Amino acid sequence: MTLQDQRVVILGGTSGIGLATAQLAAEQGASVIVASSNPSSVQRALTALPASAAGQAVDLTDSAAVAAFFAGLEPFDHLVYTAGEALTLLEVRTMDLAQARQAFELRYFGALGAVSAAVPRLRPGGSVVLTTGAAGDRPGPGWSVAASICGAVDSLVRALAVELAPLRVNAVKPGVVRTPLWRDALDYDATAEHLPVQRVGEPEDIAAAYVYLMNQPYATGSIVSVDGGHVLV
């Protein structure tokens, strides 16, 4: 199966995993629309995508802006949400609750708001693919907020799969991936030594899972882990 002649909207699709997903979807024949909050990031992404791709800067924490973005789109087949901010570990003893709420605002409420606004534009037989993370299954010190977001998204996927049926709703659960969001928070080499696959993930590794879920007509409420064995060690 391929995405030939389908339309795919990727929020957070201008860098890292989102951009890799946009590129792979385009290789399969999809028309891709990418969005993120940074106009210059959108423009850079469009230079890496086919001429048929489109992009727009949208504040994904602004529900009115998100609603206006989807209202301006023609019907499409798949929504992918990969948006996130640079990873910051927050220890409970020194917790900045404002920062914690901000993380939920983009990664959880941003996803929920995007789905709500997108549903009227999604064609029959289409799908939504959200993003969770391995931290929800195997957190470390400082991961309470990140793990909580992952757990919330996991539950959201299952609930939406029931509520929005027969529209399919799934998620990808990455482990450590070599993207700008992780760059300043982790030592990639040290992390790789502890993983069964002996390397951290690349955006292209994770993109394949998003495209698989878009193509898989019998998957809904599914969460596909692509974590290099993170939860095993």
pLDDT at position 39: 96
Q: Which residues are 76's β-sheet partners?
A: 122
Write down the pTM of the prediction.
Answer: 0.95
pLDDT at position 185: 65
pLDDT tens per residue across all 233 residues of the chain: 789 999 999 999 999 999 999 999 999 999 999 999 999 999 999 999 999 999 999 999 999 999 999 999 999 999 999 998 876 778 888 888 998 898 899 999 999 999 999 999 999 999 999 999 998 888 888 889 999 999 999 999 999 999 999 999 999 999 999 987 766 667 888 889 989 999 999 999 999 999 999 999 999 999 999 999 988 88
pLDDT at position 178: 92
Sequence-distant (≥ 6) Cβ neighbours of residue 83 within 8 angstroms: 11, 12, 18, 36, 60, 106, 107, 110, 111
| pLDDT (tens digit per residue) in 9-51 | 999 999 999 999 999 999 999 999 999 999 999 999 999 999 9
Alpha-carbon torsion (27, 68, 203, 39), positive or negative: positive
Residue 87 phi, psi (nearest 5): -65, 125
Judged on CB neighbours under 10 Å (0-12, 13-18, 19+), 120 is: exposed
**What number of CA atoms fall less than 13 Å from residue 154's CA on the CB side?**
16
pLDDT at position 86: 75
Domain range 7-232, CATH architecture: 3-Layer(aba) Sandwich (3.40)
